Structure 1
Amino acid sequence: MTPQQNDLLCRVEGDAPMGKVMRRHWMPVCMSEEVAERDGPPRRARLLGEDMVVFRDTEGRVGVLDEQCPHRRASLVFGRNEECGLRCLYHGWKFDVNGQAVDMSSEPVDAKLRESMRTRAYPAREAGGFVWAWMGDPENPAPFDPPVWTKAPDDKIAIVKIHAACNWAQVLEGSIDSAHSSSLHSSNMPTATDVSGSTATDSQWLRPSADKSPRLQVERTPYGFRYAAIRTPIADADKQDYVRTTLFAAPFTVMIPPTDRYRLIQMLVPIDDVNCMFYWIAWHETKGISTEAWRQFCDATPGIDIDPITFRKYRNAENDYQQDRAAMKAGDFTGIKGIPTQDMAMWESMGPIADRSHDKLGSSDRAIFEFRKIMLAQAKGTGSEAPEKGWRNADLFTFEGMVSHSDDWREVSPPT
């Protein structure tokens, strides 16, 4: 890639073409649990370089507004959330979830300004544990379709949220890279001889293969692509392959291979040009994992591993992710706690925006090639203007398990 292509892929702020691509999709602003309380504390959010404030009003409605009060630009995050509106502390101007001024304490009661005053309000929806916002044309929001994990009951949906101090694209490229898990996460995903597929315990995912160089096969789809990482299994290698399939749904969603207990989806959401929010959803219609257990498994519990307000990591670049070299000598591959933090140590070490012009890609990077081609075409306007959101289609799924040499991975049945 050239530096110009790299900028086109990565930058999302202002009039950047990739930002315009993102604005054709509903975007997750925050988790619903962050604004669970009616008249509770407002929360900051930032997407595509725009600062927002999110709050739940007295009647339970969620509002997503421009963070700065339109009067004198003070932050509404410090405001009073009361009586169906958010009141700025500076002069008492108050706005409802639709952005309409409902009180302007510093203005005469008959001032015409009271009738017309509004602040920017982003159309908002709630589904699947998230607050979603529409950042495109406010007069023409796309229809909102609930994400696929809303098929599961609320208590079968668990979410991990972590700030990544780097560009969204290098985070997403990590999510679609099946080969790295056999090395970087080898202590968390060890080889086991007594399993036939990814088997989740409270602390590990056991795998039936020690193959570190998967063979990749990619298939284009209307929503992006899916691919199979094909590995040699420990058992019956002459008859079968161990196959893990991954889906990329443009522009920022990845469905990764499941375990025997839950399905897995990641959303890699651009905060701005050089920051990203990482969401990892574990869900299942009947089995699943609790939110507390999921966050413990990922070493991503708010207040213990990450800041409960900003979701920035306590193990970060400034303290070398608290890497434990003694643990490495004792057998731990990375010496870094938690699968997400192991990933972020790699992603963030590339710099705020990785210089892809220096990449030396190999055969295991086929999904990376495909992602870059699709998203550059989107940014240039030469790709589909509104790709299907295939991850919301119940007929599409990820798979992991054994596939006979005589069978095609594209034709395996959906998991139960």
Structure 2
Amino acid sequence: MTTATEGRELTEVGPGTVMGELMRQYWIPAAQSSELARDGAPVRLMLLGEKLIAFRDSAGRVGVMDHRCPHRCASLFLGRNEEGGIRCIYHGWKFDVAGNCVDMASVPPHQDFKHKVKAKAYPAVERAGVVWVYMGSSAKAPPLPAFEILDVPDDEVSVTFIQRECNYLQAIEGEIDTSHFGFLHAGHVDPDDVPEDDPVHHTITNRAPEYHITDAAWGTQYAAYRAAGPDSTYWRFANFLFPFWSQAPNGEFGSHVHARAWVPLDDGHTMFCFLRWKPGISALTQPQPAFKDGRPIGGTGRSNKFLPNTTDWLGRWRLVANASNDWGIDRAAQQSNAIYSGIDGIHLQDQAITESMGPVTDHAWEHLAPSDQMITRTRRRLLMAARALRDKGVMPPGAEDAEVFRGARSGYFVSDDKSSWQEIYARQLAEAVHPSPTPLRAAE
């Protein structure tokens, strides 16, 4: 059971909070590179409870800074992005991407003091089609995480952003809970309709997997297992990676190179950032099997429909189906068991469940089961790391040694190997397809 104090420590991410300070030790995916046009309009960003703007200057460099002009606090979102910087429209003061004041147009030259004024700006880099921001206080930014997906050329990476109206922890915990798959996504599928060689077969025939759980160098890991005949086991390995990343087992382990971030915008809103290697074999690259009466896993929906982006602080990458329309639930489809949940689409089903808990769920209402061990282990791992940073200055996993993330991979496979589960994982990882690492690992 999570106490009220622990719940606050885990879920509150604003400046000065225990978890907020932990997250500031890492690079944070903030926006898609395509959202920022050279000399184009600034974009409002909300990250860790801070109101920021992002813009791309005349040279193509990205700036991310507090939206308030340090002169009189007018919003730089209204500013003119021109000639290498953002100019406040109130008095014409101009700032470059590093926050340096480069022009005080309203001040006589002999009274100019621009060298003493600096906007609050954060370092920003681009990789894999994403703008990454470092919001920590260290003079030297940490390296980018050594995810395999950041090793591949940008044109081989698929990037998806989707906003979710709930706390980041609820979203992560939905990711690392594999036992819901056989119900929420596949409750309408009859095991007799699934071919034995289909990977989904084992999750349908046995909807109550058993687990191995452990702390890992990068965070936590689970191995869900089910019998796959008399001599084989169906494995689903997945990971939580500090501070808010997950790797889901929704692809073949040998080539499923991806990373999924659940970035806290504020305590009640999260941005899902999904980076996937296009050549990898996953649920998104394989034809969707249709079972009895043409009903596929998760329903017929394979894509997400978005509302137009707005300039609001929380106006980016919102789904058309949301709490205001009950996520498009079809009660007739639910009642007839055409779609178990009545909600069409795997991602949307997950989104509806975690958003239905409210912006920040009250953990005192929970009655956790043995199948929730990955959730409890991850909560404790996060909490202990945040407290160690606060109380002893101990840096959290991966903040300094980003290479620990390179050992993380997720996915499914069937094996007749009778070794320990850790040995099976290590052997599968060694035999997997690995994109060649690039020399650009540091946040240059």
When normalised by structure 1's length, the TM-score is 0.88
Paired residues of 1:194 and 1:208 also in contact (CA < 8 A): no
Q: Are residue 408 (structure 1) and residue 420 (structure 2) matched?
A: yes
Shift of 1:270: 0.9
Partner of 1:280: 274
In structure 2, relative to structure 1, the CA distance for the partners of 1:394 and 1:139 (3 Å cut) is closer
User: What SS does the aligned partner of 1:19 have?
Assistant: helix
- How far apart, in 2, do the equivalents of 1:249 and 1:241 lie? 25
Shift of 1:140: 3.2
- How far apart, in 2, do the equivalents of 1:80 and 1:167 lie? 34
Shift of 1:405: 6.1
Segment of structure 1 superposing worse, 141-150 or 20-29: 141-150
User: What SS does the aligned partner of 2:180 have?
Assistant: helix
Partner of 1:221: 216
Q: State the AA in 1 paired with 2:421.
A: W
1:360 to 359, 367, 387: 367
Residues 205-262 of structure 1: CA distance to partner in whole angstroms, max 9, x if unpaired?
x5543121110101221221211011234xx2x2112110001112101111242474
Paired residues of 2:148 and 2:258 also in contact (CA < 8 A): no
- How far apart, in 2, do the equivalents of 1:95 and 1:290 lie? 43
Segment of structure 1 superposing worse, 374-383 or 149-158: 374-383
Residues 159-185 of structure 1: CA distance to partner in whole angstroms, max 9, x if unpaired?
221111111111111111111122111
**Where does 1:45-124 land on structure 2 (aligned, <5 Å)?**
45-124=45-124
Q: State the AA in 2 paired with 1:281.
A: L
Paired residues of 2:38 and 2:57 also in contact (CA < 8 A): yes
Q: State the AA in 2 paired with 1:300.
A: N
Q: Are residue 300 (structure 1) and residue 295 (structure 2) matched?
A: no
Paired residues of 1:257 and 1:263 also in contact (CA < 8 A): no
Shift of 1:112: 3.1
User: What SS does the aligned partner of 1:209 have?
Assistant: helix
Shift of 1:114: 2.3
- How far apart, in 2, do the equivalents of 1:117 and 1:343 lie? 46
Partner of 1:201: none
- How far apart, in 2, do the equivalents of 1:275 and 1:188 lie? 31
1:345 to 348, 352, 355: 352
Q: State the AA in 1 paired with 2:16.
A: D
Paired residues of 2:257 and 2:280 also in contact (CA < 8 A): no
Paired residues of 1:197 and 1:402 also in contact (CA < 8 A): no
Q: Are residue 316 (structure 1) and residue 322 (structure 2) matched?
A: yes
What is the count of residue pairs matched by the alignment?
Answer: 402
2:236 to 237, 240, 244: 244
Q: Are residue 231 (structure 1) and residue 235 (structure 2) matched?
A: no
Paired residues of 1:40 and 1:56 also in contact (CA < 8 A): yes
Structure 1 unmatched runs, 5+: 199-205
Segment of structure 1 superposing worse, 39-48 or 395-404: 395-404
Task: Give the RMSD, CA atoms, in angstroms.
Answer: 2.9
- How far apart, in 2, do the equivalents of 1:66 and 1:337 lie? 39
Q: State the AA in 1 paired with 2:117.
A: M
Paired residues of 2:176 and 2:374 also in contact (CA < 8 A): yes
Paired residues of 2:145 and 2:402 also in contact (CA < 8 A): no
2:251 to 241, 259, 268: 259
Segment of structure 1 superposing worse, 336-345 or 379-388: 379-388
Paired residues of 1:99 and 1:121 also in contact (CA < 8 A): yes
In structure 2, relative to structure 1, the CA distance for the partners of 1:228 and 1:142 (3 Å cut) is same
Shift of 1:288: 8.0
Shift of 1:318: 1.2
Residues 384-414 of structure 1: CA distance to partner in whole angstroms, max 9, x if unpaired?
6221367864443223111226243323322
User: What SS does the aligned partner of 2:109 have?
Assistant: coil
Structure 2 unmatched runs, 5+: 288-299, 434-444
Q: State the AA in 1 paired with 2:325.
A: N
- How far apart, in 1, do the equivalents of 2:67 and 2:152 lie? 33
In structure 2, relative to structure 1, the CA distance for the partners of 1:86 and 1:307 (3 Å cut) is closer
- How far apart, in 2, do the equivalents of 1:257 and 1:74 lie? 47
Shift of 1:369: 1.1
Q: State the AA in 1 paired with 2:327.
A: Y
Percent identity, aligned pairs only?
A: 34
In structure 2, relative to structure 1, the CA distance for the partners of 1:180 and 1:359 (3 Å cut) is same
Q: State the AA in 1 paired with 2:412.
A: E
Q: Are residue 24 (structure 1) and residue 25 (structure 2) matched?
A: yes
User: What SS does the aligned partner of 1:313 have?
Assistant: coil
Partner of 1:39: 39
- How far apart, in 2, do the equivalents of 1:71 and 1:396 lie? 46
Q: Are residue 127 (structure 1) and residue 141 (structure 2) matched?
A: no
Partner of 1:150: 150
Partner of 1:202: none
Q: Are residue 386 (structure 1) and residue 378 (structure 2) matched?
A: no
Q: State the AA in 2 paired with 1:165.
A: E
Shift of 1:285: 5.4
Paired residues of 1:222 and 1:390 also in contact (CA < 8 A): no
Q: State the AA in 1 paired with 2:414.
A: M
Partner of 2:341: 334
User: What SS does the aligned partner of 1:311 have?
Assistant: coil
- How far apart, in 1, do the equivalents of 2:307 and 2:3 lie? 41
Paired residues of 2:100 and 2:117 also in contact (CA < 8 A): yes
In structure 2, relative to structure 1, the CA distance for the partners of 1:337 and 1:289 (3 Å cut) is closer
Q: Are residue 399 (structure 1) and residue 424 (structure 2) matched?
A: no
Shift of 1:307: 6.7
Shift of 1:146: 5.3
In structure 2, relative to structure 1, the CA distance for the partners of 1:248 and 1:189 (3 Å cut) is farther
User: What SS does the aligned partner of 2:272 have?
Assistant: strand
Partner of 2:14: 13
- How far apart, in 1, do the equivalents of 2:258 and 2:30 lie? 20
User: What SS does the aligned partner of 1:110 have?
Assistant: helix
Shift of 1:144: 3.4
In structure 2, relative to structure 1, the CA distance for the partners of 1:151 and 1:15 (3 Å cut) is same
User: What SS does the aligned partner of 1:183 have?
Assistant: helix
Shift of 1:340: 2.1
